């Protein structure tokens, strides 16, 4: 956890990294976004969790994230009160951010995995879903549904979903489908498809999507403070 570089934080950003649930990727992926948010006046927590290869998998991984967010909030209640608590997840971190939406005031999904069933069906990233879930969808449909944010709608929290049209890791069509399902479920969602944005560009604070992302977060914080007055 890092304190904001301002006297009072604009809000509390909860970062959750991706990596298709594998242990080779860790929370350092989110350090560039963390540094940018700190400079903009946000307090930041960067959540780590067990992954496939170091004791993780379903349901341990989302349980770790849930516990990590709870601990981060309990440790700094003043940061939570200062503005919006915003889950920000990239790739499968987006899945985990959406699954833990109850702990946040709003959720940002950066190229999020929203349907683990499709990861299995399309064998994405050498069928990362098989290693994460411990079986195929046909063998454990209820677990796959529980792991898929699209099957948990409505989330009843404001959502921002960003996806690039040249993403080769998580198909952009999955975010389109999630956005349509969220609208049908009466969730408040802002969906942005960004031309030329790759999967890893999503965690680059100099990329073109980031200014809108931070603006959206600031709006959520302002709305929370207005209600609290």
**pLDDT tens for each residue of the chain, 229 residues long:** 787 777 789 999 999 999 999 999 999 999 999 999 999 999 999 999 999 999 999 999 999 999 999 999 999 999 999 999 999 999 999 999 999 999 999 999 999 999 999 999 999 999 999 999 999 999 999 999 999 999 999 999 999 999 999 999 999 999 999 999 999 999 999 999 999 999 999 999 999 999 999 999 999 999 999 987 7
The pLDDT score that the predictor gives to residue 7 is 78
For the domain spanning 50-85+99-228, the CATH number is 3.40.50.1820
Cα distance between residue 45 and residue 36, in whole Å: 13
Please choose, from the candidates 159, 171, 153, the residue with its C-alpha nearest in 3D space to the C-alpha of residue 111: 171
* pTM of the predicted model over 0.75: yes
Burial of 14 (0-12, 13-18, 19+ CB in 10 A): buried
Contact 213, 160 (CB under 8 A): yes
- Dihedral in degrees, nearest 10, Cα atoms 72, 73, 74, 75: 50
Which residues contact residue 221 at a Cβ distance below 8 angstroms, ignoring those fewer than 6 apart?
10, 11, 83, 84, 86
How is the beta sheet containing 159-164 ordered, strand by strand? 43-47, 12-16, 85-90, 106-110, 159-164, 189-194
The pLDDT score that the predictor gives to residue 87 is 99
The pLDDT score that the predictor gives to residue 2 is 83
Q: Give phi and psi for 167, each to the nearest 5.
A: -70, 120
């Amino acid at each position: 956890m890092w304190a904001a570089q301002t006297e009072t934080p604009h809000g509390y950003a909860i970062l959750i990294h991706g990596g298709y649930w594998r242990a080779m990727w860790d929370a350092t992926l989110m350090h560039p976004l963390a540094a940018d948010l700190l400079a903009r006046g946000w307090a930041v927590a960067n959540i780590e969790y067990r992954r496939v290869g170091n004791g993780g998998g379903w349901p341990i991984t989302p349980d770790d994230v849930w516990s990590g967010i709870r601990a981060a909030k309990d440790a700094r209640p003043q940061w939570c009160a200062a503005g919006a608590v915003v889950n920000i997840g990239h790739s499968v971190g987006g899945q985990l951010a959406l699954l833990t939406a109850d702990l946040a005031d709003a959720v940002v999904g950066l190229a999020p995995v929203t349907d683990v069933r499709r990861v299995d069906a399309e064998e994405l990233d050498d069928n990362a879903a098989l290693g994460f879930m411990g079986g195929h969808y046909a063998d454990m449909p209820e677990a796959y549904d529980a792991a898929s944010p699209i099957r948990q709608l409505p989330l009843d929290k404001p959502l921002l979903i960003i996806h690039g049209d040249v993403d080769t890791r998580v198909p952009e069509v999955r975010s389109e489908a999630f956005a349509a399902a969220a609208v049908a479920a009466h969730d408040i969602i802002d969906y942005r498809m960004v031309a030329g944005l790759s999967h890893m560009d999503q965690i680059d604070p100099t990329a073109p999507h980031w200014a809108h992302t931070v603006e959206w977060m600031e709006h959520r914080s302002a709305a929370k403070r207005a209600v609290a007055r």
